[in-house]
């Protein structure tokens, strides 16, 4: 990383900061603090807001794990955030109905051109939307119409928030080289 990580466990003396560290640790559970947390905890209030926002995106939406992780993994690929990929691809691989070809398509498909036949229409629409949001920000009408044809309004908001949130995550990871995996060659499957 371009900055030193805070110590693990973090050494904090302020009661507010200690409460923040405890909330982050509680969210991570048995996995313990990640390198991302140890970077964010340089600024405890930022870490606290991040923890709350990303916790909601990860655990409080109605999206299936496979849809959410497809979007997150695609963002990681497009932004070359391999730390993000290394944490989310295994979650996607565990989803019922997700094949190795599905995961490989996320990794190998060039932007705006889905390759592979194992991805169903809903996941494909999410990938197209992820590509547009991540690379152009402005989403073409045909891409949005395809999404709207597959999802309810609530789901569209959740998909959009997930893609936006993980673009934030990936940009933080890559800019600071959190996990020391970013900018290197892409992973193999």
Q: Is the per-residue pLDDT at 182 higher than 70?
A: no
Q: What pLDDT was estimated at residue 109?
A: 81
Q: What is the mean pLDDT of residues 142-169?
A: 97
Largest CA distance in the chain: 54
Evaluate whether residue 159 is within a structural domain. Answer: yes
Evaluate whether residue 118 is within a structural domain. Answer: yes
Query: pTM of the predicted model, to two decimals?
Result: 0.89
| Whether residue 82 is found in the same domain as residue 101 | yes
| Whether residue 142 is found in the same domain as residue 74 | yes
| Whether residue 53 is found in the same domain as residue 79 | no
| Whether residue 51 is found in the same domain as residue 128 | no
Per-residue pLDDT tens for 103-149?
988 988 878 787 666 788 999 999 999 999 999 999 999 999 999 99
DSSP run (H or E) holding 51: helix 44-59
Evaluate whether residue 9 is within a structural domain. Answer: no
Q: What is the mean pLDDT of residues 76-92?
A: 92
Q: Is the per-residue pLDDT at 7 higher than 80?
A: yes
Average pLDDT of the residues of the chain: 91
Q: What pLDDT was estimated at residue 112?
A: 79
What does the block give as tokens for 169? 């995550």
CB 178 within 8 A of CB 168: no
Q: What pLDDT was estimated at residue 188?
A: 66
Per-residue pLDDT tens for 61-70?
999 999 999 9
Q: Is the dihedral of CA 174, 50, 168, 130 positive or negative?
A: positive
Q: What is the mean pLDDT of residues 142-160?
A: 97
Q: What pLDDT was estimated at residue 127?
A: 94
| Whether residue 36 is found in the same domain as residue 129 | no
Q: How far is CA 180 from CA 46, 61, 143, in A?
A: 21, 30, 34
Structural domain count, the chain = 2
| Whether residue 83 is found in the same domain as residue 104 | yes
Q: What pLDDT was estimated at residue 138?
A: 93
| Whether residue 53 is found in the same domain as residue 110 | no
Our CA angle for 49, 53, 58, nearest 5°, is 145
| Whether residue 140 is found in the same domain as residue 175 | yes
User: Alpha-carbon distance 34 to 85, whole Å?
Assistant: 14
| Whether residue 87 is found in the same domain as residue 51 | no
| Whether residue 92 is found in the same domain as residue 165 | yes
Radius of gyration of the chain (CA): 17
- pLDDT grade for 189, boundaries at 50, 70 and 90: low
Identify the domain containing residue 49 by its residue range. 15-59
Q: What is the mean pLDDT of residues 85-101?
A: 91
The region that residue 29 occupies, defined by phi over 0 for left and psi between -120 and 50 for alpha, beta otherwise, is left
Evaluate whether residue 8 is within a structural domain. Answer: no
Q: What is the CATH number of the domain that holds 111?
A: 1.20.1290.10
Evaluate whether residue 2 is within a structural domain. Answer: no
| Whether residue 85 is found in the same domain as residue 21 | no
Evaluate whether residue 53 is within a structural domain. Answer: yes
The DSSP annotation for 122-177 comes to HHHHHHHHHHHHHHTSSPPHHHHHHHHTTS-HHHHHHHHHHHHHHHHHHHHHHHHT
Per-residue pLDDT tens for 23-58?
999 888 888 888 999 999 999 999 999 989 999 999
């Amino acid at each position: 990383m371009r900055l030193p990580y805070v110590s693990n466990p973090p050494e904090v003396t302020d009661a507010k900061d200690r409460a923040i560290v405890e909330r982050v640790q509680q969210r991570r559970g048995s996995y313990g603090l990640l390198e991302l947390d140890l970077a964010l905890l340089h600024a405890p209030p930022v870490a606290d807001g991040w923890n709350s926002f990303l916790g909601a995106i990860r655990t409080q939406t109605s999206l299936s794990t496979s849809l959410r992780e497809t979007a997150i993994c695609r963002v990681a690929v497009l932004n070359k955030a391999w730390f993000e990929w290394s944490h989310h691809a295994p979650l996607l691989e565990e989803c019922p109905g997700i094949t190795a070809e599905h995961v490989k398509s996320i990794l190998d498909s060039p932007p705006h051109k889905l390759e592979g036949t194992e991805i169903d229409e809903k996941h494909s629409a999410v990938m197209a939307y992820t590509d547009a949001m991540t690379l152009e920000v402005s989403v073409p009408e045909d891409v949005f119409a395809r999404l709207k044809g597959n999802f309810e309004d609530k789901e569209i908001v959740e998909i959009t928030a997930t893609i936006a949130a993980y673009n934030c995550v990936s940009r933080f990871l890559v800019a600071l080289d959190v996990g020391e995996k970013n900018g290197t060659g892409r992973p193999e499957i």
